Amino acid sequence: MDLLILILGPWIMIGDFNEVHNYKEVSGGDFNLTRANFLSQMMDACGVMDLDSIGGLFTWRRKSQYGGHIRKKLDRCLADVDWRLAFPHSLAELLPTHDSDHNPILVSCMKAASRRSKIFHFQAAWLHHPEYKPLVQSTWSDTVGNVISKLQAVQKSSERFNSDIFGNIFKNKRQLEARIKGVPQHLDYCQSSDLINFERHLQNEYNKVLVQEEMLWYQKSRENWIKFGNKNTKKFHVQTVIRRRRNKVVGLNIDGIWCSDEDSLRREALSYFRSLFQEGGSTRPRSLHFSHFPHISIDLYNSLCLNPSLEEVKPALFSMNSYKAYGPDGFQPIFFKTFWNIVSSEVHNLVSTAFQSGTIDPKLIETLIVPIPKIDDPMSLKDFRPISLCNVMLKIISKVLVGRIKPYLNSLISHFQSSFIPK
């Protein structure tokens, strides 16, 4: 605690702490909860957290008297919140051991260069600007075509709006802070009602920017347990930094060799998941006794084919989390909810067309395949599980179907598979 009081600004601790934080950081040896609590209490008192690391979990190894190995995570990098915000791309890499039983740790603070193309993402902070909603309304009504065409037009107009009108939130915030700071200095020499009104105007604009900034980090953090509007900007920012850092793939073990080249990782991931999901040799039974399979009733068949009403489509949309991950089109449910009075007719028509024709526009079924780490320290592609990020329109169609099938699930699914029935 005395050390914390003496330090000003961001700080980080690196070295051998001679303790583990939890039972997962011990292999082949005993775990002492009391000693682990000492380390936890120190981290809480100093307000620090573990820096994300690659290259392995255990940093210390020793042969045991029974011929095995004891492995522990004794060395670590601990940083406070200000450090994580100042260096959001910082990373600790465990290097190979040589003459020591401890792994050296290399800390990098800079972001690695990436050639990833820029993808459009709807920003919820735009909703707090007075000119954005009229822009969406005019763009939507002036564009000819279905929902897909209108969303593409809104995307282009939103990008121009962000560049020409909305601007960079952080740059606007710095400029307003500088101007607000300068007004009292002028008032010290000249009392003016115009200056007082101007200061009030700047403060109002500054409050708007603070709301936009909080919404930006709230949207990126995806934290549902913290309420927006409680001045949690810093909390949202930290959560975003930590989540991005943990999901960032810096390097993987490929054929026994550690690889961090971005092109090699991309090729290996594409090859791995393509071979995983492609159709392989299948064994087809000679005969199937369909009498043993459950059959859908006439009522269910008619229900599934029925043209959905607007009252059925709206609950399907509004039951979604407003800030779910983006699909390929870059829009989240919050966009459709906010502009429902504008987009409802076209959304309903598209869903109805899908039920009437039995076909869906290929652009609707496009998905983003995203590998999610299954463990804290992924070392190979087997440590990831792929998920598909769908467009909101495809989710609406799926939810309408699920809502219709749900009342009949008990008659379609065996009692031995009851865990598959949602409660």
Residue ranges covered by each domain of the chain: 2-108, 124-215, 258-277+294-420
Q: Which fold has domain 2-108?
A: Deoxyribonuclease I; Chain A (3.60.10)
Q: Is the pLDDT of residue 243 over 60?
A: no
**Strand-pair partners of 71:** 27, 61
Above 60 in pLDDT, residue 224? no
Mean pLDDT, rounded, for 102-125: 75
Model confidence at 149, in pLDDT bands (50, 70, 90)? very high
Q: What is the pLDDT of residue 337?
A: 94
Give Cβ neighbours of residue 30 (< 8 Å, ≥ 6 apart): none
126 is written with which tokens?
Answer: 């735009």
Q: Which residues are paired to 102 by β-bridges?
A: 60
Question: In sequence order, which residues have a C-beta less than 8 Å from that of residue 172 and are 6 or more positions away?
Answer: 209
Q: Which two tokens stand for residue 65?
A: 């008297």
Output 64 or 30, whichever has higher pLDDT: 30
Is pLDDT above 70 for 286?
A: no
Sign of CA dihedral 50, 53, 57, 59: negative
Q: Which residue has the tokens 């299948």?
A: 282
pTM over 0.85: no
Angle at 347 between CA 341 and CA 351, to 5 degrees: 145
The pLDDT of residue 228 is 43
One-letter identity of residue 156: K
**Alpha-carbon span 115 to 100, nearest angstrom:** 38
pLDDT band at residue 288 using 50, 70 and 90 as cut-offs:
low
| pLDDT per residue as tens digits for the range 329-357 | 999 999 999 999 999 999 999 999 998 88
- Name the least confident of 110-124, 141-155, 191-205, 391-405: 110-124
Predicted local distance difference test score (pLDDT) of residue 226: 43
**Closest to 71 (Cα-Cα) out of 29, 24, 100, 17:** 29
β-pair partners for 230:
none
- pLDDT computed for residue 113 by the predictor: 54
Q: What is the pLDDT of residue 374?
A: 83
pLDDT at 299 over 50: yes
- 10 Å CB burial of residue 46 (0-12, 13-18, 19+) is middle
